[in-house]
Amino acid sequence: MRLALIFLTLAFFARAAVAVEPYTCRNGFFPSHAGKIGAGEIVAAVGEQVFFRDDAGGCPEAQSCRRKSYVVNKDKLLLAQTDGGWVCAWFTGRRGETVGWLPADKVKPAAASDAVPGAQDWIGKWVGVMGGEEIRIRADGKGGLIAQGAAEWHGGRAADGFEVVHTGEFDEAAIPRGNLLQVGDEKEEYACVVRMQRVGDSLVATDNTYCGGVNVRFDDVYVRAGSRR
């Protein structure tokens, strides 16, 4: 009887974990979809406010999941996964990003395109919206590209009063693969690998956690330096 009870308890928590998984729609997780992210825009009536929904348990359906943040007609979005009548969306504003579920019937995905980004679509200085990381992409003079990245993680102050700062960086050839650009080779053990995707006016990047000290990540949505004035 006790074994049966334990089994049922474990099964319950397993089902709960699976149920929560589709609702992982927040800024920290969003860049991990790099390579599968699309562009879109809001389609709403004039003056209509389309509110973001949280990704906590019972969300996004419950009315209590509605946030104060909203978007309006023609606002540009980045789109990740969908679930039923909801789509996980990222909106970049002047003060930062808003990420959450939006009703799919209020979002118009951009038409799919087979166009492959050219060198000029990548070249430039890109700044992370969330963490201020930097990625600089330049031509190597031989028809290829080189990407440089710099990121920091600030962890408060240690017992001796010094600020805890972990850093990360990369500087090497960037290999185009369709609408993706990759730094590093995932076949090499512990190599820093960064995958980047150009979507709309943004660059979305995700790494394999081997690009710097503890908690240093390049996962972010980047915009061209100076474009958010």
Count: domains in the chain:
2
Same domain membership, residue 139 and residue 163: yes
Same domain membership, residue 211 and residue 144: yes
> Of the candidates 84, 109, 134, which is a domain's last residue?
109
Is 74 within the bounds of a domain?
A: yes
Residue 169, CA distances (Å) to 40, 83, 123 in order: 32, 35, 18
Domain encompassing residue 45: 23-109
Is 162 within the bounds of a domain?
A: yes
Same domain membership, residue 52 and residue 31: yes
Residue 14 has pLDDT above 70, yes or no: no
Is 10 within the bounds of a domain?
A: no
Same domain membership, residue 129 and residue 93: no
What is the distance in angstroms between the CA of the first residue and the CA of the last residue of the chain? 65
The structure's pTM equals 0.85
Segment 77-103, tens digit of pLDDT? 999 999 889 999 999 998 889 999 999
> Of the candidates 47, 80, 109, which is a domain's last residue?
109
Same domain membership, residue 93 and residue 128: no
Is 5 within the bounds of a domain?
A: no
Segment 119-150, tens digit of pLDDT? 999 999 999 999 999 999 999 998 899 999 99
> Of the candidates 78, 109, 140, which is a domain's last residue?
109
- Kindly report the CATH number assigned to the domain that includes residue 56: 2.30.30.40
Residue 1 has pLDDT above 90, yes or no: no
**Per-residue pLDDT, 22:** 47
Is 166 within the bounds of a domain?
A: yes
- Kindly report the CATH number assigned to the domain that includes residue 140: 2.40.128
Same domain membership, residue 154 and residue 79: no
Same domain membership, residue 177 and residue 124: yes
